[in-house]
Chain A
Amino acid sequence: MELRKYQRLSFDVYFSPDVPTALVLDLQGHVQAVRVQLTQRLGVEDRTIPDLYVMGSLKAFGAAGATSGLRVTIESGFFAPGGNAPGIYLLANKPIPELKKTLTHEYTHLLVEEGAGTSLLPAWFNEGTATYYENVIGLTSSNPDVARNLDLLPL
């Protein structure tokens, strides 16, 4: 699979040719923003900043999932903690706010898994934390009122 690479000092972004560079830059900036917010909110810092893989098609995303041992069906993003290419993988087929929510969700998984170490946390905690911060942080830049009115979110 051919991927372009946008190199940063702290982490790299790999993206398929059909992904606009402007989107890559936007998502790269969002990673930094999420790191700062989660560190402040939780008092937990990451040890590593994951590389980011952004795929423009389901086919490319599925192929990336397969290399990480994941059969992608309903996912729009996943975090691969190990393997040949550890990092956060995104399928860039949604509006930018949705992509940022997914990126926040997967980055939170990284933080939870690094913090927990070898301890097994229940899935509801791991996924619930990622979903909570996906909504709190992912939306703060586009619709702050939603983040302030979490009590009103329906099931």
Chain B
Amino acid sequence: MVLASTLMPLPTLESQRDWNAQRDPLKASQIYSVGFMAIHYLVTTYGEQSVGTLIQ
């Protein structure tokens, strides 16, 4: 299945409570993919240490 024009902007994915409340497997997979891509962008653009810096 392909979902078109349904990527969520990062500001709509800030609440951990809302994230954990997602029970639809397809939508859950979609938001995890968005999070993955955001971190992948950080790593490829600024390096892995940037993720470590944000964590600390």
Contacts and interface: CB of A to CB of B under 8 A. Distances in A.
Interface residues of B, number: 30
A42 B51 contact: yes
A116 B55 contact: yes
Main secondary structure of the interface of A (DSSP, over half): helix
Given A44-B52, A122-B14, A127 B23 contact: no
A150 interface: yes
A7 interface: no
A116 B52 CA distance: 10
B47 to A, nearest CB: 10
A128 interface: yes
Contacts of A9: none
B52 A124 contact: no
A126 interface: yes
Nearest to B47: A41
A73 B40 CA distance: 28
A82 interface: no
Interface stretch (A23-31, A53-61, A129-137): A129-137
Nearest to B54: A125
A1 interface: no
B45 interface: no
B48 A124 contact: no
Contacts of B32: 127-128, 131
A132 B43 contact: yes
A97 interface: no
B38 A42 contact: no
Contacts of A124: 10, 13-14, 19, 31, 34-35, 38
Q: Which 4 A-B pairs have the closest CB atoms?
A: A128-B35, A42-B52, A115-B55, A122-B14
Interface of A: 41-44, 73-74, 111-112, 115-116, 121-129, 131-132, 135, 150, 153, 155
10 contacts: A115-B56, A123-B15, A127-B31, A128-B35, A128-B36, A129-B51, A132-B36, A132-B43, A155-B7, A155-B37
